[in-house]
Every structure is written in C-alpha cells, then in structure tokens.
Structure 1
Amino acid sequence: MLTAKDIMTHNVITVTPHTSARELASLLLEKKISGAPVVDEAGKVIGVVTESDLIFQNKKVHLPTAVAILDAFFFLESPNKMEQELKKMAGTKVGDICSHSLVSVTPETELEELATLMAEKKIHTLPVMDGDILVGVIGKSDIIRTIARGA
C-alpha cells in the first residue's frame, strides 16, 4: 500500500502569516499549486492557506438568519461565525485568511486514509509532518497523479 512518503512533494513551498494575499495568489499561480503550509518565524507549521481561502474573500456576505419573537431577536446561526467570516473576507495577509486548525499526516499515512481525509474534511493541502518537522506536502494533484499512474 502506498503511503504519504511515496506520493508527497518533498520541496515544500511555504508562506508566512505576513505574506500578502496578492503575493499568495501570484505564488499559487506561478508554482501551479493549490495551497501552502503557513509557517511562523521559527519554521513551525501554524496553518494552511489554499486557493479556496482567496476565493472566499470575494464571496457575498451571508447575514445570519434571525427570528423575531415579541420584541426580541433570536439568531438561528452564531453571530460569531459571521464575525469570523467578515474578518477573513477583509483580510489582506495570509495570517488573516488561512486555516489555523491544522490537519496533518505522517509519512506512514496510507493512501486510502489520505483520500478519506481530503474528501470528508474538504481539505486540499495536507502537510506531512514527522513530529514537529514539515517533511512534505500532499495536494489533490498528488492523489490524482497516483490514480493516473494506476498505483
């Protein structure tokens, strides 16, 4: 069974929280990648940023649904969610728009588990970590390339 170390990209392109959204867009286009790990000053992975994060910035604002009962309004969705969305939409730096809830895999993670994680969690870019050290990255194109090769 193939594992992450068999299909991952070893030369990982990373960005910092201070990288501008415009620089990120140019980098993704130039390198033909769909996302990149975000690293802090010490090189520690603190999140992932993808094309979807850039696209999110240009979506319409979704106002939370509220119900009026007597003189009170009750929100059917969390107002905090709207606040987070507005911050992300207004963000100009990678640190403003990236996902900080890091989902990563180890070099020994099997292909089926990689595909399951990506499909179920709607993840486009998976950092491959050996402990706290970033050793590679797996994107959707790595999975598709593996399928095309018949592996």
Structure 2
Amino acid sequence: MLKVKDVMQDKVMKVLPDMSVPALIQLLQTQMIQGAPVVDPQNRVIGIVSLSDVASEAARTQGEVLRLHHGQEALFDEEPLRFSTVREIMNPVVYQVQEDEPVAEVIRFMLGARIHRAVVVRGETLVGIVSTTDFMRLCLRYLESPKEA
C-alpha cells in the first residue's frame, strides 16, 4: 500500500514565527513558492503562512486590495509591514497528515476539506509536505507505466 512518505516532498522550506514579513516575502519569491509551514524551535508545526496572508495584511494596513503574483515584485509598499512578523499574519490552522498514512485516505481527506496541500509529520515533527501536484505526478507515473497484458 502506497504511503504519504512515498509521494511527499521532504525538502520543505519552513519559517520561524519571528521572521519579519519583508524577509518572508523575499524568501517566498526567491524560492518561487506560495507559502511555507511555520515551525517552533523543536520543528513542530504551529501555523502556515502564504503570499495570500501577506496580501491580506498589506490590504489591512494600506486600505486597498492587493495582488501578489508568483515570481513578481510585491505590488505594495513594504514599509508598513517592515515591523510585522510571520507570527502576526500566519494561519494557526494547519492540515496535518502522518507520513505513514495511506495515500488514498489522504487524497479523500484533501478532497473533502478542499485543500491543495497538507503538512506531513512524524508524531508532531515536520518531515514533509504533500500537495495535489504530488498526486498528479503519481497519476502520471501510473498512466505512463507499461501495462501488463
């Protein structure tokens, strides 16, 4: 039976809660990712933060609707966010799955929750992330594998 650890990404960009928002923006844009888990010093997941969270905070502090696009410059003045931290804008609700859970169960869970990614943990420790992209890769591998007659 295929487990989450067989399809997850184990190289996860993670951030600490005390990271500044401008540093977060720089990191996400440099790594070309939309978000990252927030971990405590023991590598336990305490939240998740995304470019959407940054845009929401910018809109709140600057009074206008803003858009961030993957890989582009920020479309707002970072100055009001200069002293904000990840802890202030992160979402403390995190969808977590255990690394040894069956892939089919996790897909059902993600479909039901209408989410695109889940943090993978071993106990309480972050070990990876799994997304709809990982499941699409799995489907493609299956579809391209030689069929038995």
TM-score over 0.5 for the pair: yes
C-alpha distance in 2 between matches for 1:28 and 1:118? 24
- Relative to structure 1, the CA distance from residue 118 to residue 49 in structure 2 (aligned partners, 3 Å threshold; closer, same or farther) is farther
Q: How does 1:1-151 map to 2 (within 5 A)?
A: 1-58=1-58, 92-150=84-142
1:59: how far off?
5.0
Residue 135 (structure 1) shift: 1.4
SS of the equivalent of 2:6 reads: helix
Q: Report the Cα offset of residue 4 of structure 1.
A: 1.1
Post-superposition shift, 1:36?
1.4
Per the normalisation by structure 1, the TM-score is: 0.65
Paired residue secondary structure (1:123): coil
The 8 Å contact of residues 40 and 46 in structure 1, kept in 2 or not, is answered as: yes
Which runs of 5 or more residues in structure 1 are unaligned?
Answer: 62-89
Alignment RMSD (CA, Å) = 2.7
**Contact in 2 for aligned 1:35/1:124 (Cα 8 Å):** no
Task: Flag as ranges the 4+ runs of structure 1 deviating above 4 A.
Answer: 58-61
2: CA distance, partners of 1:15 / 1:137: 14
Deviations 1:57-93 (A, max 9, x none): 35577xxxxxxxxxxxxxxxxxxxxxxxxxxxx7932
Against the structure 1 CA distance between its residues 53 and 149, is the aligned structure 2 distance closer, same or farther, given a 3 Å change threshold?
farther
Change (3 A) 1:95 1:125: farther
What percentage of residue pairs aligned between the two structures are identical? 33
Contact 1:49 1:97 in 2 (8 A): yes
- Aligned letter for 1:128? V
TM-score (norm 2): 0.66
